[in-house]
Amino acid sequence: MSITRFVKPEGLPAFLAHLSKDARVLAPVVKPADKRSVVFEPWKEGKEFTLEKATVPAKAAVLPQCETLVSYRKVKDKANPQNVTLELDDTPQAETTVVFAARPCDARGYVTLDRPYLKGPIADPYYKARREKLTVITLTCNSGCNTCFCHWVGGGPSSPEGSDILMTELSDGYILQGITPKGDALLEGSGLDDGADRFKEMEDVRKAAWATLVKAPNLKDAPAKVAAKFTDVDFWTRETDRCLSCGACTYFCPTCYCFNITDEGEATSEKGGRRLRTWDNCMSPLFTREASGHNTRMEKALRMRNRVSHKFSTYPENWGTFSCNGCGRCISNCPVSLDIRQIVLDAINADKAAK
Amino acid sequence: MRIGVFICHCGSNIAGTVDCAKVAENARMFPDVVLAKDIMYTCAEPGQAAIEAAIHEHKLDGVVVASCSPRIHEPTFRRTVERAGLNRYMFEMANIREHVSWIGKDKEANTNKATELVQIAVAKLRNDKPLKAKSFDVNKRVLIIGAGVAGIQAALDCAEGGIQVVLVEREATIGGKMAKLDKTFPTVDCSACILGPKMVDVAQHPNITLYAKSEVEDISGYVGNFSIKIRKRATYVDWDKCTGCGACTEKCPAKKTPDTFNELVGPTTAINIAFPQAIPKKAVINPEHCRQLTKGKCGVCAKVCPTGAINYEQQDEIITEEVGCIVAATGYDLMDWTVYEEYGGGRYPDVVTSLQYERLLSASGPTEGHIKRPSDGKEPKNIVFIQCVGSRDRSIGRPYCSGFCCMYTAKQAILTKDHIPDSKSYVFYMDIRANGKIYDEFTRRAMEEYGTEYIRGRVSKIYPDGEGHLIVRGVDTLLGEGVEIKADLVVLAVGVEAAKGSPKLAEKLRISYDSYGFFLESHVKLKPVETNTAGVYLAGVCQGVKDIPASVAQGSAAAAKVLGLFSKDKLENDPQIASVDMKRCVDCGKCIRCCPFGAIKEVEFRGKMYAQVIETVCQGCGLCTSTCPQGAIQLSHATDNQILAEVNTLCQC
Amino acid sequence: MPVLNGKELRIVGFLCNWCSYGGADTAGTARAGQPTDLRIIRVPCSGRIDPLFIVKALLNGADGVLVSGCHPRDCHYAAGNFYARRRLEVLKQFLPVLGIDDRRFEYTWVSASEGQRWQHVVQTFTKRIHDLGPAPKLEDPEPLLKVVDMALTSLRPLGTGQKNKLDELKAAIKAKLPELEVVIGWQQGYDAARTVPLFMRTPEDVDKLVWGPFNVNNPAVYLPQYKGKKVGIVVKGCDAKSVVELLQENLINREDVTIFAMPCEGTLDMARVNQELGRYTTIDKVEYDEVGVTITADGKEHRFCMNDFAQGKCYGCTMPTAVLSDTLIGTPTEVKPGPYTPPELALLDSMSLDERLAFWRGQMERCIRCYACRNACPMCVCRDYCIAESREPHWISQEDSTRDKLFFQTIHAMHLAGRCTGCGECQRACPVGIPILALRQQIARAVGQLFDGYKSGVDPEAVPPLLGYEVEEKNIHEREWK
């Protein structure tokens, strides 16, 4: 029996204040606009927040859009300018961080990222430093949504994977359930009321959420079927006719982890030079452009093939599970509403369609 | 990179207000700078030698010199680094004299500013790439625009040097203003006698093609290969047939045609030959006054012409000539003096310009060398000369001195006395400017030998007394009292202005002109013949006021420049031109649309179209680079990255 | 080297080599004393000065930027300064929308002989900048988030276009289809409350074609990639403007493109529609009437009246029917032009300069540089070689600073000067809803005001104003330096 706590809506700011004593708390914040959006931002006392699903997932907590891998400075000897000493700093930028009110799909994203970044032949020290300092408090979803498909890919509205604490909205407040020892410890020290008596209610809410979901197709054959389509360029061309080759799908994806490395700044300047790691985007022609100018993926069809294959075929090949968590952000944020679900289904059903 | 920085003291010119040693010390901290020192005179021989030595000793692959304007010494230092084995474009200059030491006295601020200018030069240099010039053939023909004495001199010198000359003259005859003069100072030589033979030489020289009554319509191309469109105006006379016999001018009934050659002193005929020594000596019909052309009936000249040269149907003709360089020698015009109400504003016939007076003095003029005043043809006895009419007068926007008026006025006063021994001349002047060879002596003669009365002061009013005289009222500032002279004739020394249409021609030549329309030389002291457009040279008053000997000298100087240029069979282009990164080009054609020189064309490569720069045509303005949104076309030596490096150096907070 | 504290401000000059740099030399030779703030960058011609250099400087710490070239008609390169004059003037009118005081940027003409004038220009400009004081930095103000007021009145009644003869259109496309590689239109998206671009290659594809208020995408964005191939496109009035602009710029060939058009009655602002619908699982049905749409989602009815929920651009639209088409089904509706300021621009207009800076700071912070704005823009033709990501040239740092993000938007806007047809796809595509359209709208307004009401994408023969010039500009006047 895990540790549970209960908090009334009006108690949340105090809870966040408590969390932010020792950590940077990233909480969803509404950005009002004609097209409003929700983004994770460092919370501070008095700042408004929301519990809506964020437009942008909290991936940046472990993999920032841009981070300095190494900063370097060349320092000249005034007497002899030919003598130059190099100062290097490659300390990972890692703060103790609590992500508050992520959704289960976001939380599962961290697990998806952990595999290549931590479990491969080399653990990425920058990622590792941040991951170790991360606590994830996840709000379970009370309903499905038109673009969500977490339950197709092994998740669900209350999937605990990747979360330290699961939080569920009840009629009059929120129940927080420790999932990991880290989560338990946090709850124990939170000073919140015990929520054990609301446990049953919590389970009912979570079950009800499942009931709102549209029936999921069976994706068991997806890895093989998507792989089988690899050489069918016509298939990918048709599927990507309307793709604009922007980076919305990848940049809003909680599991896309490709990066680019560039040097900026001037080693001899006061600020020094920075070797940056920034999100990269396999939808962009730059992703595979070689120094010669040759590009192995000139066509957007080939780029989309890479993205879909990676999520539904090659990642599963390496790690035994999809690297898509079904958050649906690539669909909802796509300027042309390109639907990855449809591409996967078309791949699966290609044989039938052919017959 | 290994960059050397050299800070010039320029004696005290820079060091007086800039701490050069401090600038060098600061520069040592800049990226890739391995050496920075201050030198007394970088451009002098020891300075250049020091730079060369440092390049060898420190294995420098780029040099920054902080000194005067690159417009002065960039070529010098480029040669310096080249001698030491570097590519000449691996060099940058920081202008810490004209832009720093000479315009500010605050040493701390100046030193800081100089340091930053060095810093941006270093930043740019670090993005420099060695550039290599391409060579191309030179068309060894020269276009000379304007056939006054400067243009004639340039043409003859070039022709003698074996160069094919295309000489274009707007008027019907060559000779320019000098041909209108009676005598020339200070020797009182007959103008026609000394210019005439040169004009004949032009006509006869096998290397000179003369287009009279013609104007330059359009110029395209670049040094070595200009293409010129010349508009040959209709003269309504077939010059191939015209022998210049003058039968037509005798019989022409339109005898009240204004005579522009004679400065409108007296009329001429609608068909005429400017003057007896005209070159080419061919008749021209003035279409505004020809009865056949205006009213459709007359045809007298056609009837009398023994060779049947008259052609009323003649049209302007456009001729294309290809040349390798151009000399502009378009001379000057007199300003419109009628703005001076105090001189009658043009209402009194006996107030004439000095050039009109020359025609009255000239034996080939309308009065056949007898001085007769325009109003009644009487010989004037009291003649007043007024200097500086439209010169050195800010009130009408002519603050400059016309240079030669003092001298010709003295000459005219002397000639007046020669023509009419019992006459008396008065000269109102501001200052006497007589700083040429035997010039001051000459004006002295006018005063002392010829009894010309020089009055230092301005004329405030001229008015007729009703008895055929003009009352000239002025002030003698030396005596401090008013003067009033009863004059029979008043001669105005009207100031010079750039020839009409100069700015238009400058635009065609792509050269600059000053606010008065005079063409701008490359450097006021050291490059008085060159312009900032390669292959375009200047001669004569079009560049600035000067007298005949100076015009002739500049004509010869321009010819020397032409001959120098043509001493090479091939020219090298300036490699600071644009080039296209084909990978980035999407063939939208924006660069092609904007290029002022037509230097970009579309080419096909592997089935796709791209923009491509024609290297010999590109002039390196960079308009294409700022037009191309994807940065596919970059101007070498002023690439986006180079300018960005400079901006980023200055703006980084 | 930092700016001398207290004494100097950061003033950057871009001077053409032939005239103004020479003029500054002449001033120096004449010992014409000047303030020391100015740092001069020498360029061959004022035409070389990409306005973006100026923005770059102003965003990164310049307190003032001064550009000087040869006097008009006096360009060493014949026409460089004529082009520069247009571009710089457009920039000057653009800067305030970013929250940058346009007095911080000035351009002028000084010839090599005008040393005195140069001295006067430097003195005057330096004094002006000192009077203005140090320029505010983008990061200084507290982020300001203001929302565009979408309560607009349309120039014409908006509707759902359901009376259009879609069948006729389909028949026309089918008839032409054999000659064409593809015809681009719209089809239903992943649910009935949205459409997505449709690529018709077979008659069966044509049957999927839909027409109505959900047809928000601008299909013209796909045309340049088909250059040289025979393609068809179905357009609304606004889409046609993009097609025309592409023709103007030689990015597509007229003979290759077959344009099918129907009069448009307006399209929905999907941002507000989605917000109103909220989180839902399934669309039950979508019903159209003449003035609006009723969407039932998860059993709940939502009513969208076109007059209340149209895209901002639809309210001011005067060209609901394509200006250029090969097959027009239906009768073009005449709309009288009326007063209309795009809502995004109206919001910026209502703010002070400081507020605008704070506004952009607040907006751009959340940009994650997915470049959906760029890729959805039909006029963004650099595509694979956008300078946002290139190193050669290296305009933008990969650092995710708000400044660089705003700078990219400026690049996009400046590159659209005289080209943007206001289709609004950039803003619609932005997943985080940044009202970037305002920047393009300001550019378009400036271009219209400067060049006799020029509108992009109306006349295929017209030269885009920044690719041309007039020797005497009617609306650009030399500034007095007094």
Domain identity same for C126 and C176: no
Whether residue A8 is predicted with pLDDT greater than 90 in this model: the reply is yes
Picking from C184, C190, C275 by the largest number of A CB atoms within 10 A of its own CB, the best residue to mutate is C190
Give pLDDT, residue A140. Answer: 97
Give pLDDT, residue B113. Answer: 96
Give pLDDT, residue C7. Answer: 86
Give pLDDT, residue B205. Answer: 97
C224 → chain B, closest CA residue: B586
Interaxial angle between packed helices B548-565 and B149-160, expressed in degrees from 0 to 180 and rounded to the nearest 10: 30
Question: Per the CB < 8 Å rule, is A81 touching B25?
Answer: no
Domain identity same for C214 and C243: yes
Reported confidence tier of residue B572, pLDDT bands at 50, 70, 90: confident
Domain identity same for C314 and C398: no
Query: What subunits touch chain B, counting only 3 or more CB pairs under 8 A?
Result: A, C
Q: How far apart are CA C16 and CA C22, in angstroms?
A: 8
Residues of chain B with Cβ-Cβ distance to A76 below 8 Å are: 28-29
Q: Which two tokens stand for residue B177?
A: 């203003």
Q: Is C299 within a domain?
A: no
Q: Is the pTM of this model over 0.90?
A: no
Instruction: Give C293 to chain A, closest Cα distance, Å.
Output: 19
3-state secondary structure chain A: CCCEEEECHHHHHHHHHHHCCCCEEEEEEEECCCCCEEEEEECCCCCCCCCCCCCCCHHHHCCCCEEEEEEEEEEECCCCCCCEEEEEECCCCCCCEEEEEECHHHHHHHHHHHHHHHCCCCCCHHHHHHHHCEEEEEECCCCCCCCCCHHHCCCCCCCCCCCCEEEEECCCCEEEEECCHHHHHHHHCCCCEECHHHHHHHHHHHHHHHHCCCCCCCCCCHHHHHHHCCCCHHHHHHHCCCCCCCCHHHHCCCCCCCEEEEEEECCCCCCCEEEEEEECCCCCHHHHECCCCCECCCCHHHHHHHHHHHHHHHHHHHHCCCCCCCCCHHHHCCCCCCCHHHHHHHHHHHHHHHC
Last residue of a domain, one of C132, C157, C175: C132
Question: Per the CB < 8 Å rule, is B28 touching A76?
Answer: yes
**pLDDT, tens digit, 9 for 90 and up, residues A249-308:** 999 999 999 999 999 988 877 788 999 999 999 999 999 999 888 999 999 999 999 999
Interfacial B residues in 112-151 facing C (CB < 8 Å): 112-113, 115-117, 119-120
**pLDDT, tens digit, 9 for 90 and up, residues A38-87:** 999 999 999 999 999 999 999 999 999 999 999 999 988 888 888 889 99
- Ranges of residues in chain C with a pLDDT under 50 are 1-2
**pLDDT, tens digit, 9 for 90 and up, residues A196-249:** 999 999 999 999 999 999 899 999 999 999 999 999 999 999 999 999 999 999
Domain identity same for C80 and C213: no
Domain count for chain C, please give it: 3
**pLDDT, tens digit, 9 for 90 and up, residues A75-134:** 888 888 888 899 999 999 999 999 999 999 999 999 999 999 999 999 999 999 999 999
Interfacial A residues in 41-100 facing B (CB < 8 Å): 74, 76, 78, 81-82
- Identity of the residue in A78, A271, A293 whose CB atom sits nearest the CB atom of B29: A78
Domain identity same for C349 and C319: no
Strand ranges in C312-361 using DSSP code E only, listed in sequence order: 327-328
Q: Is C35 within a domain?
A: yes
Q: Which of B171, B194, B226, B201 has its CA nearest to residue B537?
A: B226
Whether residue A1 is predicted with pLDDT greater than 70 in this model: the reply is no
Give pLDDT, residue B312. Answer: 96
- Identity of the residue in B97, B589, B622 whose CB atom sits nearest the CB atom of C44: B622
Q: Is C478 within a domain?
A: no
Give pLDDT, residue A355. Answer: 55
Q: Which two tokens stand for residue A321?
A: 């599970």
Report the share of chain B in percent with pLDDT over 90: 87
A272 → chain B, closest CA residue: B31
Instruction: Give A294 to chain C, closest Cα distance, Å.
Output: 12
Give pLDDT, residue C157. Answer: 92
Last residue of a domain, one of C114, C132, C150: C132
Whether residue B45 is predicted with pLDDT greater than 80 in this model: the reply is yes
Q: Is C27 within a domain?
A: yes
Reported confidence tier of residue B222, pLDDT bands at 50, 70, 90: confident
Instruction: Give B34 to chain A, closest Cα distance, Å.
Output: 5
Q: Is C282 within a domain?
A: no
Query: What subunits touch chain A, counting only 3 or more CB pairs under 8 A?
Result: B, C
Range of the domain at C319: 166-272+307-328
Domain identity same for C317 and C381: no
Domain identity same for C313 and C354: no
Domain identity same for C235 and C176: yes
Query: What subunits touch chain C, counting only 3 or more CB pairs under 8 A?
Result: A, B
**pLDDT, tens digit, 9 for 90 and up, residues B121-179:** 999 999 999 999 988 899 999 999 999 999 999 999 999 999 999 999 999 999 999 99
Domain identity same for C78 and C181: no
Give pLDDT, residue C452. Answer: 92
**pLDDT, tens digit, 9 for 90 and up, residues C157-178:** 999 999 889 999 999 999 999 9
Give pLDDT, residue A258. Answer: 96
**pLDDT, tens digit, 9 for 90 and up, residues B519-534:** 988 888 888 999 878 8
Question: Per the CB < 8 Å rule, is C56 touching B95?
Answer: no
Give pLDDT, residue C133. Answer: 95
**pLDDT, tens digit, 9 for 90 and up, residues B606-633:** 988 999 998 888 889 999 999 999 999 9
Q: What is the largest CA-CA distance in chain B?
A: 91
Domain identity same for C17 and C124: yes
Report the share of chain A in percent with pLDDT over 90: 90
Residues of chain B with Cβ-Cβ distance to A83 below 8 Å are: none
As a whole number, the mean pLDDT across chain B is 94
3-state secondary structure (DSSP) of residue C449: helix
What are the b/e assignments for B12-29, b being 16+ CB within 10 Å?
ebbbebbbbebbbbbbbb
Domain identity same for C324 and C405: no
Domain identity same for C97 and C183: no
Give pLDDT, residue C436. Answer: 96
